[in-house]
Amino acid sequence: MLEIRFHGRGGQGAVTSAELLAEAALTEGKHAQAFPSFGPERRGAPVTSYCRIDELPIRLRTNISAPDIVLVLDPSLLKTVNVTDGLKETGTLIINSQKGPEHFVHNHKLHKIATVDATGIALQILGRSITNTILLGALIRTIAPVELSSITAAIQKRFDQKNAALNIQALQQAYQETKILNMPDYPTQENQFADAPAATGENAPVQPQAQSLWIELELGCLITNPGNSKTYYTGSWRSFYPLLNKDRCIKCGICWILCPDAAYTQDTEGFYPVDLNYCKGCGICAHECPTGAITMLQEKEAGV
């Protein structure tokens, strides 16, 4: 049995990835499962989804804790989520990254590491940072748990004609551009996840250790203490950040009103600077700003 775990963010299509892969396996006469595991069900929040594929009926119904393959849809997850947790020594790690796979050599004895600039392909072809089908292209290139034609058929079944064509184009580009490192050919090095991307911008970086954990919540998950949202640093969910052009800002406050994470406050000059500890990078402020004063920029990966 092949067990595959996807790490993404709410809105990036991690759940759809697992479902498309399972659908492709089913069309090949295999047995398959696909299911998600959510934390906070919000755009930008870390999401995990799972897929099992086997020639025989699958009776397991648990989350996948020792995957054969891990796919990381967003490189910013590397600084907050232990994506290789439980990954088998014979396993494969596939990451959305502008870096080559050698940058992610882990002291685990993995079988393969692969990278593809899925965000770049998504922005170029889809016009937005939805990387799920693109990572499937990298998966087929690296391991091929199903045929490329089975995945494209699943995409055609799932999306309308226009979106299916765009997603298949993006998937095929990822298939061509995926860089693969066969680990048995490569000397083991120290874990290099320590140089994962740092928060960008003028504000202090996110401090993940300051986050409250779900296990600390009261029974029923009621949070009764006032002002508690300050302890939830949703800035760790961000892969794009807003940049303000003060020359175009008319101080209308629409960004402040509409930001779902209250990341804006007004300063003494009447401008609205963003606190990147809380900005989750959804882009609503940039979309709604009437003068186009806000531009969303991709977080830089360290060392690129």
Neighbours of 214 (CB within 10 A): 8
Q: Which string of x and - marks every residue 209-248 that binds ligand SF4 (by CB under 6 A)?
A: ---------------------------------x-x----
Neighbours of 144 (CB within 10 A): 9
By CB under 6 A, residue 10 contacts ligand SF4: no
Pick the closer one to ligand SF4 by CB: 6 or 272. Answer: 272
Q: Shortest gap between Cβ of 280 and ligand SF4 (angstroms)?
A: 5
Q: Which string of x and - marks every residue 252-291 that binds ligand SF4 (by CB under 6 A)?
A: xxxx---x-x-xx-------x-x----xxxxxxx---x-x
By CB under 6 A, residue 206 contacts ligand SF4: no
Q: Shortest gap between Cβ of 258 and ligand SF4 (angstroms)?
A: 6
Say if CB 10 and CB 47 are below 8 A apart: yes
Exposure pattern of 252-267 as b/e (b: 16+ CB <10 Å)? eebbbeebebebbeee
By CB under 6 A, residue 30 contacts ligand SF4: no
Pick the closer one to ligand SF4 by CB: 109 or 248. Answer: 248
**Residue of 181, 159, 217 lying closest to 93 (CA atoms):** 181
CA–CA gap between residue 104 and residue 114 (Å, rounded): 9
Tokens 């919540």 found at: 217
Token pair of 26, please? 């089913």
Find the distance separating the first CA and the last CA of the chain, reported in whole Å. 36
Contact positions toward ligand SF4, by CB under 6 A?
242, 244, 249-255, 259, 261, 263-264, 272, 274, 279-285, 289, 291, 293-294
